[in-house]
Amino acid sequence: MSNGGSDMRSLWRGPLLAWIVLMGLFAISLGSAYIPLGHGNVAVNLLIAAVMLAVLATFLMDLKNAKSLVRIVAMAGLFWIMMMFSLTFSDYLTRW
């Protein structure tokens, strides 16, 4: 007879750990908003956002166990998001 309780614990362990890490990173991001670092706040918050993205992609999207085609599609999506942000930012800079 299989133990259903341990199956449920192992099923929830990864997402729960990812949620705890994301909440910790959110708390660090919130705390950094109250520390006057000048332009360093932007760099710190972008670094925190990159770590959050890595946690989301690795654990919640399960890209570490995904097939190569799924990884390629995820990277293509990231590439196009970066292109859209860079084009939007370049348009914003030309309007000064």
User: How confident is the model at residue 5, as a pLDDT?
Assistant: 67
Cα–Cα distance measured from residue 62 to residue 70, given in angstroms and rounded to the nearest whole number? 10
**Low pLDDT (below 50) residues in the chain:** none
User: Are 5 and 51 within one domain?
Assistant: yes
User: Are 53 and 7 within one domain?
Assistant: yes
User: Are 60 and 14 within one domain?
Assistant: yes
pLDDT tens string 31-45: 998 999 888 898 899
The pTM of this model reads: 0.70
**What is the extent of the structural domain holding 12?**
1-64
User: How confident is the model at residue 4, as a pLDDT?
Assistant: 63
Query: Which two tokens mark 20?
Result: 């705890």
Tokens 């956002």, residue located: 49
User: Are 60 and 41 within one domain?
Assistant: yes
User: How confident is the model at residue 29, as a pLDDT?
Assistant: 94
62 — alpha (psi -120 to 50), left (phi > 0) or beta? Answer: left
Cα distance from N-terminal residue to C-terminal residue, the chain = 70
CB 44 within 8 A of CB 37: yes
